[in-house]
């Protein structure tokens, strides 16, 4: 009886084990899933699956506000927009997108009045495509990582001093004040966005070309950059108010 049960148990155990072909298929499926997972992780850590976030911020005061969290296509959908210092947790590329989603200035800048009737307000996908084209131009013209070029442009175009109006009794005067790191970054993004809008308005230059040109000039601290001009003008007024 015992000898008969042992062969039956061995046969059942052998039947329960997977066949070699099944084991090979299972191993191949697991390896494919692992490869797909690795590809997804590697692509998600690069902007637009092309540009590395491994860049350096030289300005120590702006390191806490230039967020370089690796995201392929930055978009927070407005989450936590009402929380304190939420802008410090936004990816710097998304902050650039938000700055570019604007309408006309309505004022006279550079000898012309910019009235675009809000063509980019709320059109984040369109702005993202323009940034992708601009970054390709920057990479092709400079041979550098466009994220590094953007960071350098923001550092160079961020003013250190500004003026504010102070009332002493019935007298109002301008007083020079230091600018916080958060506001410095806000001003730099606003000036770069303004330069892009004015550079492409009634011009053969496209929106992406205007953005790429402004980023390259500002990263080199070129006086022809609109953001650099605004920074120098702001700091000059602050020096005169001292």
Domain ranges of the chain: 37-240
Determine the pLDDT at residue 118. 65
Q: What digits encode the pLDDT tens for the residues 49-60?
A: 899 999 999 999
Average pLDDT (213-232) is 94
Average pLDDT (29-39) is 54
Q: How confident is the model at residue 29 (pLDDT cuts 50, 70, 90)?
A: low
Which pair of structure tokens corresponds to residue 62? 């702006």
- DSSP β-bridge partners for residue 51: 47
Asked if residue 191 lies in contact with residue 102, where contact means CB atoms within 8 angstroms, the answer is: no
d(CA 87, CA 19): 57
Asked if residue 106 lies in contact with residue 184, where contact means CB atoms within 8 angstroms, the answer is: no
Distances in Å between the Cα of 88 and the Cα atoms of 49, 154, 193 are 23, 15, 19
pLDDT at 61 exceeding the cut of 70: yes
Determine the pLDDT at residue 38. 45
For 71-102, letters b (16+ CB in 10 Å) and e give beebeeeeeeeeeeeebeebbbbbbbbbbbbb
Q: Measuring CA to CA, which residue among 71, 130, 135, 68 is closest to residue 99? A: 130
pLDDT at 91 exceeding the cut of 80: yes
State the maximum Cα–Cα separation within the chain, in Å, rounded to a whole number: 114
The superfamily CATH assigns to domain 37-240 is Ribosomal protein S7/S5 (1.10.455.10)
d(CA 67, CA 22): 48
Average pLDDT (67-91) is 86
Q: What digits encode the pLDDT tens for the residues 93-144?
A: 999 999 998 765 555 555 666 665 667 778 889 999 999 999 999 999 999 9
d(CA 83, CA 114): 33
Determine the pLDDT at residue 43. 46
d(CA 233, CA 152): 19
Determine the pLDDT at residue 83. 83
User: Positive or negative, the Cα torsion across 125, 131, 137, 139?
Assistant: negative
């Amino acid at each position: 009886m015992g000898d008969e049960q042992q062969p039956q148990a061995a046969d059942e155990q052998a039947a329960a084990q997977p066949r070699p072909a099944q084991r090979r298929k299972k191993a191949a499926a697991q390896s494919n899933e692992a490869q797909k997972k690795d590809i997804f992780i590697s692509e998600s850590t690069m902007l637009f699956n092309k540009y590395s976030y491994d860049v350096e911020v030289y300005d120590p005061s702006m390191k806490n506000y230039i967020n370089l969290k690796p995201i392929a296509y930055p978009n927070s959908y407005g989450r936590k927009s009402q929380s304190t210092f939420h802008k410090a947790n936004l990816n710097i590329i998304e902050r650039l997108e938000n700055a570019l989603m604007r309408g006309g200035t309505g004022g006279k800048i550079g000898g012309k009045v910019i009235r675009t009737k809000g063509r980019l307000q709320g059109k984040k996908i369109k702005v993202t495509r323009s940034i992708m084209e601009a970054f390709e131009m920057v990479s092709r013209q400079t041979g550098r990582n466009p994220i590094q070029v953007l960071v350098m442009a923001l550092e160079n175009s961020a003013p250190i001093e500004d003026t504010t109006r102070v009332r002493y009794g019935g007298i109002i005067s301008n007083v020079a004040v230091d600018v916080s790191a958060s506001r410095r970054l806000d001003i730099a993004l606003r000036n770069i966005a303004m330069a892009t809008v004015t550079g492409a308005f009634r011009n053969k230059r496209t929106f992406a070309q205007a953005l790429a040109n402004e980023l390259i000039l500002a990263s080199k601290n070129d006086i022809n950059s609109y953001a650099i001009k605004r920074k120098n003008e702001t700091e000059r007024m602050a020096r005169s108010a001292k």
